[in-house]
Amino acid sequence: MSKEQLTIREANIEDRANIETLWKDVIDHAFKKEGMDAYHNPLDELDFKMNQFDQAFKKKTSTFYVAYKADELVGTIAYGTPPNRGILRRTNNALIDMVEIGSLYIDPIYQKKGYGKILLVHILEALKEQKVDTVCFDSIIESSKQIWRKIFGEPTYLIPSEKHDFTHMIWVVDVQQSIINLKKQH
Ligand SMILES: CC(C)(COP(=O)(O)OP(=O)(O)OC[C@H]1O[C@@H](n2cnc3c(N)ncnc32)[C@H](O)[C@@H]1OP(=O)(O)O)[C@@H](O)C(=O)NCCC(=O)NCCS
């Protein structure tokens, strides 16, 4: 798949404004599409995510990547440890030492064109170079759960929410095998 003119690099603080705009668009779009805005305010999710971004930058607990086409931000992805609070709480801290992949957001205009997979391969290859063998990630968004099921198989943990009508899915996957799977499906 040729995705010419896509530049993927580590994010720096100058990317913050573009990231906030992108995440707002993606979250608004996903929440509306999924009907999640009925019980979860997209602006609260955005605030939560931006706070996470600022903390991770300050404490250097996560590394964010940005993908640009010319000067247009198309997507983001990140890895970091420990995993997010939801994963820790719902697994009784079983994954506390694991690297989590997250913040995978693709501009709605560019979704379903293969960019999500390109960013996943990019970050998994970076982690492989760092000798990371296993990673985890989670999802509460229905459409992305279907995508991860298709690519990574059934989730390792499947935890119904105590408050809402959704299931929190958490995957623990082998880095090398996931790269092979993602490349096979290109
Ligand atoms: C989920 C997301 C990151 C996927 O990125 P993407 O660039 O749209 O996905 P890709 O084009 O790389 O597609 C990956 C695979 O999923 C499939 N897919 C894409 N969108 C799909 C959908 N809505 N339902 C089912 N399958 C879908 C594709 O067909 C592809 O499989 P294939 O290669 O066998 O055809 C992106 O859609 C997004 O940002 N969604 C909103 C935010 C979100 O949910 N982030 C993840 C939080 S866990």
Spell out the domain ranges in the chain.
6-132
CA of 33 to the centre of ligand 1 (A): 14
Kindly state which CATH superfamily the domain 6-132 is placed in: Gcn5-related N-acetyltransferase (GNAT) (3.40.630.30)
- Nearest Cα residue to atom 24 of ligand 1: 143
What Rg do the C-alpha atoms of the chain give, in angstroms? 16
- How far is residue 73's CA from residue 111's CA, in Å, rounded to a whole number? 13
- How far is residue 113's CA from residue 90's CA, in Å, rounded to a whole number? 32
Instruction: Identify the pLDDT of residue 39.
Output: 76
Is it the case that residue 91 has pLDDT exceeding 90? yes
CB 182 within 8 A of CB 117: yes
The pTM of the full predicted model, rounded to 2 decimals, is 0.93
Confidence of residue 2 (pLDDT cuts 50, 70, 90): very low
How many C-beta neighbours within 10 Å does residue 4 have? 5
- Nearest Cα residue to atom 16 of ligand 1: 147
Look at the block and give the residue holding tokens 């896509």: 6
The ligand 1 atom nearest the CA atom of 145: 48
Bridge-partner residues for 72, per DSSP?
Answer: 69
The per-residue pLDDT for range 131-184, each reduced to its tens digit, is 999 999 999 888 899 999 999 999 999 998 777 777 899 999 999 999 999 998
